[in-house]
Amino acid sequence: MRSKDYGDDVLAGDWRRPRKGTIPEIPADRDLVVEDPDSGFCGAVVACDKHGVTLEDRFGDRRVFPLTKAGFLLDGRPVTLVRPERARGRAPRPPERSASGSVAVPNAPARVAKESRIYVEGVHDAELVEKVWGHDLRVEGVVVEYLEGIDDLASVVEEFAPGPGRRLGVLVDHLVAGSKESRIAAQVTSPYVLVAGHPFVDVWEGVKPSALGIRAWPQVPRGVPWKEGVLAALGWPGDVRAGWRRILGSVNSYTDLEPQLLGRVEELIDFVTAPEPPA
């Protein structure tokens, strides 16, 4: 169900790059976006000197960090930041990044859709994937569709007819040992299908509480509809659609999502875009 190459902290920016290798040294050029894994602070470089590097997040808050070995994450991978060399003229700007953290392809037209697909459980999952990974998926020609639940996953997979050049990735909520979802997923055995799941009851929980300005997602008692229970506990209006719009509006990039969700979506994208081995 899960690949050993994808841990909970995986966030591949450009999934076509190798995942293994030595930790690279990266010049701390201005506007380079990195994350401190210990504090979770993510921001752009605004200054760098012999004492450390200063990062500024999207709220304008600044923090100074020492230049330490493998002390930062760039596209989810460990890097060592070094002081940039003083070059003549203006230093080149780093490449623009999409919301997923990958290198953006400016003015790239959407490719003709591949036969491979990614299925998610509901419309909220699809909207979140589109907001963060939409650019990347259009560049690759991958379509995301939603199922309205996975109770009939085995028949859905059979109808899709997976095979060489026609792969299927499925993102599942609450895929933990002993859950109903894990039993349903275990019925799928095709090598051309990857079922990957996160541990959250609903994709709402895949959004970091800090992005919403709350301390944590509330615990909802058994027997209470989860989304309605969350809205009531937070003191928000009971309109689920309005609640989701508020949550989705708080997400600006991959840094607003939990690693357990990020890793699974990246894993699925890798799977459906992987070239087929020669016959």
Asked whether residue 25 carries a pLDDT value surpassing 50, the answer given is yes
Mean pLDDT over 38-67 rounds to 83
Tell whether pTM > 0.75: no
Same domain, 51 and 154: no
Model pLDDT, residue 37 = 85
Within-domain flag for 84: yes
In a domain, 13, yes or no: yes
213 is a domain residue: yes
- Count of the separate structural domains present in the chain: 2
Does 14 reside within a domain?
Answer: yes
Q: pLDDT digit string (tens) for 57-73?
A: 777 788 888 876 568 88
Averaged over 113-125, what is the pLDDT? 90
Question: Quick one: pLDDT at residue 263?
Answer: 92
33 shares a domain with 82? yes
* Element at 65 (helix H, strand E): strand 62-65
Q: What CA–CA distances, in Å, run from 132 to 40, 117, 136, 252?
A: 18, 17, 9, 8
Specify whether 180 is located in the same domain as 54. no
Burial class (CB in 10 A: 0-12, 13-18, 19+), 47: middle
pLDDT in tens, 177-203: 999 999 999 999 999 999 999 999 999
Q: How far apart, in Å, are the Cα atoms of 93 and each of 29, 33, 53, 169, 255?
A: 8, 12, 17, 35, 21
Does residue 106 lie in a domain region?
Answer: no
pLDDT reported for residue 210: 93
Using CB atoms within 10 Å of the CB of residue 10, give its burial: 0 to 12 exposed, 13 to 18 middle, 19+ buried. buried
Are residue 259 and residue 138 in the same domain, yes or no?
yes
The pLDDT tens digits of the residues spanning 234-257 come to 999 999 999 999 999 999 989 999
**pLDDT surpasses 80 at 93:** no
Q: Are residues 161 and 127 in the same domain?
A: yes
Average pLDDT over residues 98-127: 76
256 phi and psi angles, rounded to 5 deg: -90, 5
Same domain as 237, residue 170? yes
Q: Classify residue 132: in a domain, yes or no.
A: yes
Residue with tokens 């808050």: 61
Go through the chain and tell me how many residues it has.
279
Q: What is the mean pLDDT of residues 128-152?
A: 90
Residues spanned by the domain of 121: 117-273
Claim to verify: residue 188 and residue 257 sit in the same structural domain: yes
Give yes or no: residues 70 and 127 share one domain. Answer: no
Q: Do both 127 and 234 map to the same domain?
A: yes
Let me know if residue 45 belongs to a domain: yes
Does residue 121 share a domain with residue 90? no
Residue 223 is classified by DSSP as T
174 and 88 inside one domain? no
Domain limit, last residue, from 60, 94, 128? 94
Same domain, 182 and 224: yes
Residues 133/161, Cβ–Cβ less than 8 Å: no
Question: 62, 94, 126: which is the final residue of a domain?
Answer: 94
Whether 179 is covered by a domain: the verdict is yes
